[in-house]
Amino acid sequence: MSKKILIIEDNEAISRSISYALTDADYEVECATDPLKGISEANTGEYDLILLDIVMPDYSGYDVMEKINVNPDIKKTPVVIFSNLDRPEDKELIKKLGAIGLISKADMDSQQVATQVKKFLDEV
């Protein structure tokens, strides 16, 4: 049975590219380009991992993490941040909110992201 991944990313082109790479790697993928829809989607399905952008209009990935942490049904789902934020204070907050890791958008193409996602899934 393939692993199920939820991508919450406001940039449709990035979301689609990562989705294709993960689908090619035999993952089942759902995408939400709106953070509130992402939270709603997370509440409806059992996901093995959530790939979450931080910088989104109106509702940040930090806000999404806070909502996830309040809900015991989805709090156990591992979250990997997918962002360009790499300042020490960002990394500290990401860890404090419970994300299991960070993938830098600037440093990887979609195939490399899929490889990193596999590594995170193998660790949990």
pLDDT value at residue 74? 83
pLDDT value at residue 85? 79
Three-state secondary-structure class, residue 58 = coil
pLDDT value at residue 1? 66
Helix (H) or strand (E) holding 17: helix 12-24
Q: How far is CA 118 from CA 38, 63, 71, 72, in A?
A: 21, 25, 25, 24
Which residues neighbour 54 within 8 Å (Cβ) at sequence distance 6 or greater? 60, 61, 62, 81, 83, 85, 90, 94
Report d(CA 16, CA 92) in Å as an integer: 29
The answer to whether the predicted template modeling score (pTM) of the entire model surpasses 0.95 is no
pLDDT value at residue 73? 79
Please state the domain extents for the chain.
Answer: 4-123
Are 47 and 4 a contacting pair, CB within 8 Å?
yes
Per-residue model confidence as pLDDT tens for the chain (124 residues)? 689 999 999 999 999 999 999 999 999 999 999 999 999 999 887 899 999 999 898 889 989 999 888 888 788 899 999 888 778 888 888 888 889 988 888 877 888 889 899 999 988 8
Domain spanning 4-123: CATH 3.90.226.10: no
